[in-house]
Chain A
Amino acid sequence: MIVADRKPLDEILDSIKDYKKIMLMACGGCVTVCFSGGSKAAGLLASQIKMARKKQGKAIEIIECTPERQCEYEFIDELKNDIESVEAVLSIACGVGVQTMSEHLPQAITIPGLNTKFMGYPVEHALWEERCAGCGDCVLGWTGGYCPIARCAKKLFNGPCGGSSDGKCEVDKDIECVWQLIHDRLKQLNKLDNLTVVRGPKDWRTSTNAGQRKIKFEEAML
């Protein structure tokens, strides 16, 4: 899932300071699961904004809504009429949601209320960790299921580097050395040979280096 984190309240307040009526657009997808952008988060943020604006003597009207997914135009197009009654939309979805709004409901400006962080999963309740960098050429097959691109601070293909110590990364003792994990898992699978091969340089064209990426599913094209 996509994991996002709310922007600081001051930054949000500054970004909507010119508006008296906004729509606070939550999302029922990933960001609901990670607590940053669901209907509950919207309710909380709306009260915080209203209180702050009241203190400033600049009251603000906020319409809250939570489409099932902000990143699919079928779910947001029905809000077209409501959009026309507001000056701006404050989106607490991921960056994809914000852009879907901008492209499909351009009548109002859409402002991000979240910082989209990564693709990951909750390793325990309320703790999410990055797992995938969307590099476009999956290596998990030979790494025993641990991703060095998303999880190694140097994106090494032939790790671990000399900074791996007691299973931790030199960059932060709270980060596990993914190359230690790769090593241990392959050892357990009796596949340490995977690590004796010198892995060649990655073709980064599959990643974010060759312009915007597209996927076309021919069989489903209308």
Chain B
Amino acid sequence: MKSASRLEKVLTAGEFAVTAELGPPQNSNPEVIKKKAQYLLGNVDGANITDNQTAVVRMSSIAAAAIAISCGVEPVVQMVCRDRNRIAIQSDILGAVALGAKNLLCLSGDHQKFGNHPEAMNVFDVDSMQLIAMVKKMRDDKQFLSGDPIKEYEPKLFIGAVENPFADPFEFRVMRLAKKIRAGADFIQTQCVFDIDKFSRWMELVVKEGLHKQVYILAGLTPVRSVRALHYMKNEVAGMSIPDELIKRMESAQEPKEEGVKICLEMIEKVKNVEGVSGIHLMPIGWESITPVILERANLLPRPEV
């Protein structure tokens, strides 16, 4: 076991894993995390605590993760390269593990242009690939990036990474996944899957390369509440693929929220049947209360004992 996190145990036991997002608030109220943690407690194998997603300032992912742990929810701490250099990242990794974190998701981070401080300087001292390799080096080689030894209490983390099967160049996306595995990724969470055909084509290439046997792949899924959300993602978020028939379906829905849930449930069934998929990652984008409802209706509860 790399970190013996619940997520690692579930995946290595061959169970279909479930993670879901828990977004920290834009204030310092711990009750927000505690309330959202209740939706996830016992229902997921890991709660992704986002790190200032879309470059909007929020409570620190590590602080929010510590609160989630106190509520009994195991976090997947997100760590972006946008805001910290290699010194701060390694320091925060030590701190996160000291607070009980066992999973870390490595991302480059949304560009600050999309957030509420577009005039900020970004860091990107290391990129997501280098971050993965750095965490692996700290864990497996017991060394900082500099080569200095970590004499004891090296950070034992189950290392996650992301990949977007819908970004370009399509054929390189599989090569890049292989590269993330070589860098040290133990599990992958994908960008939101709405275009199941393109996702399946990507997974076929992943399976052809045998990559699904080297890393656990969790398909990212987002339940939407309105057609507006789909329009927004289609038009404003680069690297998203939203089929037109999905937009039509949401447009003509009498109860858009229920339709969004149904679409998500259908998508869960579809990705479950795609070879090489080891689980799902739900990203309800501020609608955390729907997570237990979806998981219940998808027969993914109760979560397995591990």
Contacts and interface: CB of A to CB of B under 8 A. Distances in A.
A43 interface: no
Nearest to A193: B175
Contacts, number: 93
B126 A201 contact: yes
Given A161-B108, A163-B238, A195-B175, A177 B129 contact: no
B239 interface: yes
A160 B82 CA distance: 15
A204 interface: yes
Interface string B230-269: 0000000011000000000000000000000000000000
Nearest to A197: B179
Chain A interface residue bracket vs B? 20 to 34
Given A165-B167, A201-B134, A171 B124 contact: no
B178 A164 contact: no
B167 A164 contact: yes
Nearest to A154: B124
Interface in A162-206: 162-172, 177, 180, 183-184, 192, 195-196, 198-201, 204
Contacts of B129: 157-158, 198-199
How big is the B interface, by class?
20 to 34
Contacts of A13: none
A156 interface: yes
A204 to B, nearest CB: 7
Contacts of A80: none
A156 B108 CA distance: 9
Nearest to A204: B125
A117 interface: no
Interface of A: 153-172, 177, 180, 183-184, 192, 195-196, 198-201, 204
